[in-house]
Each structure stands twice: as structure tokens, then as C-alpha cells.
Structure 1
Amino acid sequence: MLKNSTAQSQSRLQSILWQGSTLHLLDQRRLPLVTEYVVCDTADAVAEAIQEMVVRGAPAIGVAAAFGLVLAAQQGENLEEKATLLKAARPTAVNLMWAVDTMLQTPVSDWEKKAFALYDSDVLVNKAIGEQAQSLIPENATVIHHCNTGSLATVDYGTALGVIRIAHERGKNIHAILDETRPRLQGARLSAYECQAFGIPHTVIVDGAAPWVMRTRQVDCCIVGCDRVAANGDVANKIGTYALALAAKAHNVPFYVACPLSTLDLATPNGEAIEIEERSTKEITHIQGQLICPENTPVFNPAFDITPAALISAIITETGIITPPYADNLKALKSQGL
């Protein structure tokens, strides 16, 4: 069962707090209006928090799941069973599976230490992604960003939004155009919240405005995160990414994907083989509990889509920038043991 907490983080953007026998997760469903933590004291509660998007973002849910296994071990539960439960909470995000498998490959006595190692590593990896990307970001750049890929989606800094944050910290004159990201509005609620917190100039647009913005304004690039990269370079990311990539291609705007190496799924041949999570119809039919569609309206609510590799200009990781041909260059990474 999820429980509210009055615990406060040292940073208002700290999404994950470990208190020794409980996991405190910043409730991202309530931001930016309410800052509140949800307490998880069992692996089941962590799985529920991931499923209900209390915590979200591929790296963040991986770290949360790692601590969920620590809770299961502390309580003497069936660890394989709880690992399966946690993996099933968000089936598209490969970081979740990677983090759980990493824990299972570690002696149980070292699980808390390993979970903290994953936590700390995420910060270093995100900063490295941001540094690697700077060669692609001009001094005076307007960048379109989709969904939320910043501190709230990770332990800190973030992937694509972390690139923007580091560019801002370096003194580049950068302006972020934020897709609102329907239906849960992570761009409008969360990315705008982060940009405001860090003083990054930004403008929120509706998702459908992005092609017009590319046509009528100078846009230097689009940069997004992702939840899984297939062996051929196809990418699964928040629904709306595919449309943004098509628009970028039509307007000759570079389209970049920022992600840690843990998001690469070279065992999956292409995007067609990636399971796409479908979520509750109420995410579309209701806003803040208020019905906005006629009763019994049919709804299709995929949480993710697949962007073909041919639409992606480069994939930015913590070890470098990967360019086409992706099938060859991703295979080269695998041969190096990465």
C-alpha cells in the first residue's frame, strides 16, 4: 500500500530518498502544485508506485526497483517473485529490467550497497551524457524537447533535459521549447517545473505545434530521451516522439536521442519487437477526475511509440555519440563489452 510522507528532500527535485527501511518517492502525479513524498515499505508498494507513475522515467524506475528488491530481502520475501512483479510494472522501459537483473546477479547481502551504487552511478552517467552532447549544441540554440527527462526522471540531472541543463550551466544561450506531452502533460508539468527551478529559458507548446514552430522559427535541434533502443537503432519513447521525429525530418532539423548505455537492448532486433505499454483509458477521458469525453467513448492509449532509426541523427550516451549505421555501431559497442 502507498502511504504519504512528510519527509522533505535536500533538493526539491530529488525524486528518490532511501531511509534505511523505507523508500520515499516524490509523487510526480501531483507536481507542480503539491510537493509530497509517497512511502513504500514493501516491494509490492514500489511496483505499484512505478505502475501508477508516482515515480517515472526509465533510469528512476530502475533505481526505485533496486531498492524495492532491498525491501523484499529485508522482509524475507520470495525474491524471484518480487523481481518478476517489479519488471512487469512498466514493460517498455528496459532500464527497469536491467536494474532488477543487475541486483539478481549480486549477492543478496550486498543488495543495499548495490542499490546505492546504481543510484550514484546514475548521476555520473547523466552528467557524462550532458558533456558528450555539448558538441552538438550551438552557443545560441533553440531546442525542442519532448516529455520529461530531467532530474525527476532520473536520480539527478537527467538525459535529454540534462543536456539542456548543462548547456545552460556552461553559459550557452539556450532556449528550450517544451512539448506539453499528452495525455499526462509531463512536459508542461514537470519539464517546465525543472526549467523554472534551474533558470533555463523555456516555452511550453502543445504537442501539435512543434512542426509549425520548426517551420516558422529557427530550431537548432530536437533532443529526447528514450526507454529502449533496439539493435538496429529504433527507439521506444513517450508517445508523440515519432511524430516529432517525422516533423524534424521534414524540416531538416537534427533529431537526437540521449540515453545511458543501460537503455540499449541489443537482444531486441528492432522496434517491432518492443512491447508497447497501453495505459488506462481514464488518462485520456478524464482531466483531474473530470470526464471530458462522452460516456463510453472508445479509447486507445499507448504510452510509447517507436521512432525508426532512419529518423534519428545521433544517439548520445555517456561514452560517446553513436551515429548511423546504427546496426553496425551498436554491435561494435557490444563487442567492446559495453
Structure 2
Amino acid sequence: MSTAHEKIQLQANVPENLFGKRLDQALAEMFPDYSRSRIKEWILADYVKVDGQILNRPREKLLGEELIEIDAQIEMQVQHKGQDIDLNIVFEDEHILVINKPMNLVVHPGAGNSDGTVLNALLNHAPEIVNVPRAGIVHRLDKDTTGLMVVAKTIPAQTHLVEQLQAREISREYEAVVVGTMVAGGTVDEPIGRHPTKRTSMAVRESGKPAMTHYRVKEKFRAHTYIRLKLESGRTHQIRVHMSHLRYPLVGDQAYGGRPRPPKACNENMVNMLRMFRRQALHAIQLELTHPVTGEWLSWQAPLPKDFVELLEVLREDKSEHGSGEV
């Protein structure tokens, strides 16, 4: 394990509109690139001077026009190494990058996946990202979910992206194929928490955190439905749990009930496709957000992966052969 540091030096006079404010509140407004919790840590660690004197009391009131000096050092324990893993980069500048994640790639190291992850690939591609918590990862996709992810390359960019995510200002849209024929679209507004008996799974639970998923029907097949979804929150396995809760689990989702259910009289090609589709049929197809530094509204699209396209082709062939009636 090695140690990396980033030195932060900031200086400004307290503006008139912050006279009488607490130190931590004023600094959070004066230096919005850094979270209030991080600023409070700096105050308590004696990194903040007011008119040349260390002030380590976050609740201390400011009189006005004081000179604020912050000389902080962010220390990070580097446990992971960069690895030469291909990243499909859709967009990159000095502040952020957007990737189109393939299937079978874990985002962050954990139990059973100590390396070979998106994080390892990021450390190799942009070594300076080691100074950003979680290597700049602000939201995740499951191992076998494909599609768009945004990553922050600096701490200020990460701070602003996390704020957008919490304020539900980042738009994330997905496409999926579910088992069963939906009548129409709708919204699932059900809290999600850890499953009471399956440690690695989630479930709709009253004690869980609020979660909302909007969905609409794009195309109906004999025994499946192609849908578009939009998240209002970002809970673990949210789409998978919500669709399973509606009794329309995602095709290929073995954890939440998406086992193969071929319609009657379908051909062998269809049977094989459903049996061999071993991942949840879920793709993060669109990502929209405000650039954390320039303020520009940005939008990206990621084409459906090959296996998803082939699944839709087989479902369409079956519908053409047998008609659209649900079986």
C-alpha cells in the first residue's frame, strides 16, 4: 500500500453577504468546489487560518472581511494499481470522462474482484485520478449492465457531480427487455433496502431508501417487452429490483427471477437465445448532465451492445412468425 497526497491551497476574504455566518457555512459557500464535510475536516485538522491565526472551531462566527487561508493536504491510501484494460471512452477533457462500460466488467474492486475493474483501468489511463476519492467514480453499473458512466478526474469536478446526482439533476436513461408482456408504461415508487435473507441482493422494503423508476413500453413481443427507463434515484440494483417487484423481471437476471421462459411453439433459435442470455438485459443508453466546470449541458448516447441487438432480432422474428398475441 502506498500513500498519495494532493496539496490544496486556497485564499479569499470573507464577502459582505457572509458576515455573521459560521466558519464552516461561510467556507462552504466561498469554496463550492469542496464539500461541506471536507471543509469541516480541514477546520478540525488546523488547516484553516483566519487573519493569520489557526481557527479550528467550525461554529465560530465571522465578523466580515477576514482573510481566509486554507493550506490542506488530502492523503489517500492507494490500495489498487493501474491495469492496462481497454476503456471505451465516449468523452474526455481535463475534468471528466464518460465511458461506455462493457458487460462482465466490475466497476470497483471488492470481494471476489480484487482487480481487473473499471477503477484499475482508470488508474492506468489517468494516473492523477488516484488523488480523487474512489478514483472519481460517482455512480456505478452492475458487472453485467452495459452503458454510460461519468467519472470525475478532479475533486472539484467530483464534488459538483455528486451534488447534481443528489439533486437528481443528472439524467440517466436505460433500455431493457423484461419477461412478460406489459400493457403500458408507468412509475415504480417503492423503497429499496438490503434483502432480509440474501446478503448480496436487494429488495423492496418499507425500511429501505426512497427509490423511483419511470418506464415506458417501446415494443411488445409474444412473451417479452422492450422498455425504456429513467431513474429518479440510484439505489443498488434499482431497475432490476423494481421490475422484479412488478413481476416483469429482466431477461437473463438470474438473481431477480429472469429465468428463461420461451413462448409456446417458438423455434429452437429462440429457445437457445433465451437460455444462453446469461446477464440481465439492461443497457445505460443515455446520460445527460451539466458539465461541473463549464456549466455546459451535455448529452451522450451509447448504441445497444451486440448481444442485446441479437436478442431483439430473435424476439421480432418470433413475433413475425406467430403474431403478436401474448402466450
TM value normalised by structure 1: 0.25
Structure of larger gyration radius? 2
Is the helix fraction higher in 1 or 2? Answer: 1
Is the strand fraction higher in 1 or 2? Answer: 2
